[in-house]
Structure 1
Amino acid sequence: MARLIETDRKRRLAFTTRRRGLLDKARQLAVLCGVAVTVVCTDPEGGALTVMETEEGVPALMDNERKRGLAFRNRRRGLLEKAEQLAALCGAQVAVVCADPWGGAPTVMETEAGVLARAY
């Protein structure tokens, strides 16, 4: 399990870098698989709020249903792992909502249940 980065300067730098990586992963998932993805996170001090939302109904770049399903599962797992690492290493609050490409229940991940929803 990843531990919180002790030094404030290193934690802020890691947050900036990892947040960018998390948002890139979310965009890639949305574009390749044609699903809506929303990412919400606060900085380590609980101040600035980052919200990234992709459009629903964007056509997927991958036409093959089987390959798209495999890519969706793998990329969703990678996105959620990145979100958990950002929260653990940097002390940020992170929430991810990812639509299911087959119309099922969306995947919802929040580092501390309800914290972001209550705060914002």
Structure 2
Amino acid sequence: MTQVATTPPRGIMMTDMAVAQVKALREKQGKDLCLRVGVRQGGCSGMSYTMDFADPSSIQPTDEVFDYDGFKVVCDPKSMLYLYGMALDYSDAMIGGGFQFTNPNASQTCGCGKSFSS
């Protein structure tokens, strides 16, 4: 019987394209930063996604931290309730390109894909 190696599931998953794009954007900042992902009230569907670079010193003990080959993705516990299992992808397509969120917790998503309701 062959045993299949599995990696533990991550609360926030990122495709290779998303990681590469975020790392390229971070390089332009000229600092060693992490990516903070979260949600806030607003947007056309009730809640909108947030993404911003943050100094690693801002990571709180209660934050969830996911490591992607040395690059840290951070999420606060309240946002993690809405984002657990989300996949972040990136496309460089001229129409519909940019970051795309696939969130299994969203019961409804707006047309732009940047907000949702649960």
What's the TM-score bracket when you normalise by the shorter of the two chains?
A: under 0.3
Relative to the length of structure 2, the TM-score reads 0.25
Q: Please identify which structure carries the higher helix content.
A: 1
